[in-house]
Structure 1
Amino acid sequence: MLTIHPADPHSVAVALNVVIDWPAVAFIGMDDGQFVGSGGLAWGSDRCWLWFAVLDSKPEYAKPVMRMAKLLFRKAEQLGESTVYTVRDQKFATSARLLKLTGFRFVAVEDGQEVFACDLRKASADVGV
């Protein structure tokens, strides 16, 4: 069963072999004691970004991920944000559908990446999990 826990952004960056050099809040997903993914909020380039990375996707992770998105939206709103941005993970065919379900809409292609935005005022009313 997937459980989600707060984590130190630096530890997450080391585990994923990525750089997180913006202010961030991070969470990790564990399933049966195994690290299966992470996500959180990061602030940079004058935007608040939601990020999510999964090592092994399973259909049963969808509901906890949706709940986590809603929690992160509330956190961003509490910190004064009105919009959250994200980049679509093109490795997963279902990523566009997941973004739509969580309230994101396509806004632009920037540096070769599809950027999506979510209006938090609308999302808090629409995302029902």
Structure 2
Amino acid sequence: AISGCRYERHWVSKSRPGLANHAMAGITYEALSTVGPPRWDEAARTIAREIQVNAGGTATENPFIDELERLISPQEAEAILRRDLPPSQVNSTSDDYTDMSWHAPTARFYVARPALRSAHGHAFPAWVMNAL
């Protein structure tokens, strides 16, 4: 007040909502369907079992969760994502994909990161996801 200055607060954001491209999502899903979901060989399963034990859990026959070897449609993936979002929220992350969708044909799709099956309710530490 003494300086004669005034203060205004403005929320400045470069992010804008993404443009859904259902045609590209369909093409991407068809290509993934042709290739098929990830399949983990016995060498990968052996390493995962070692991590299960080293992280305080119990080794399981199939150390990976079932969702890793299953493809789901873009519509089903979107429905799963939206279950945890408030109805007013349009986008789900702070990634720059939303801006890129205004400049180039874009398909957003998710590929599962390896995640371990938990026997007997064991909770693996957060670093286990990065170790895989």
Mark yes or no: TM-score above 0.5.
no
Query: Taking CA–CA contacts closer than 8 Å with sequence separation of 6 or more, which of the two structures ends up with the larger relative contact order?
Result: 2
Larger Rg: 2
Q: What range describes the TM-score normalised by the shorter chain of this pair?
A: under 0.3
Task: Please state which structure has a larger fraction of its residues in helix.
Answer: 2
TM-score by length of 1: 0.20
Q: Greater strand share, 1 or 2?
A: 1
Q: So what's the TM-score if we normalise by structure 2?
A: 0.20
